[in-house]
Amino acid sequence: MKVVVQVVEKIISEAHIHIPDGLTEDAIRQHIVGLYNSGEIVPDLNIFQVDFESISATIVQQPQEAV
């Protein structure tokens, strides 16, 4: 019997980054998105919290082998 198990978790990560002074709120958002999209922020992300969302299992029917 083959069973496919799917676990859904919500992972909350945090990073401590430096933002240039004098930016507007929109510019700060754009700066953070730019760092994330460029991959510069990824190494700094630390898993802060993992919340279990759900778990499910599906039994995969396998055809009977011919005798």
Q: Return the number of other C-beta atoms located less than 10 Å from residue 32's C-beta.
A: 14
Instruction: Give the per-residue pLDDT at 16.
Output: 87
Instruction: Give the per-residue pLDDT at 64.
Output: 72
* H or E element at residue 5: strand 2-14
Q: Please, which residues bridge with residue 54 across strands?
A: 8
With a cut of 70, which residues of the chain have pLDDT below it?
A: 65-67
**CB half-sphere exposure, 11, CA atoms < 13 A:** 7
Write down the pTM of the prediction.
0.55
Please calculate the CA angle 15-46-35 and round it to the nearest 5 degrees. Answer: 40
Instruction: Give the per-residue pLDDT at 7.
Output: 93
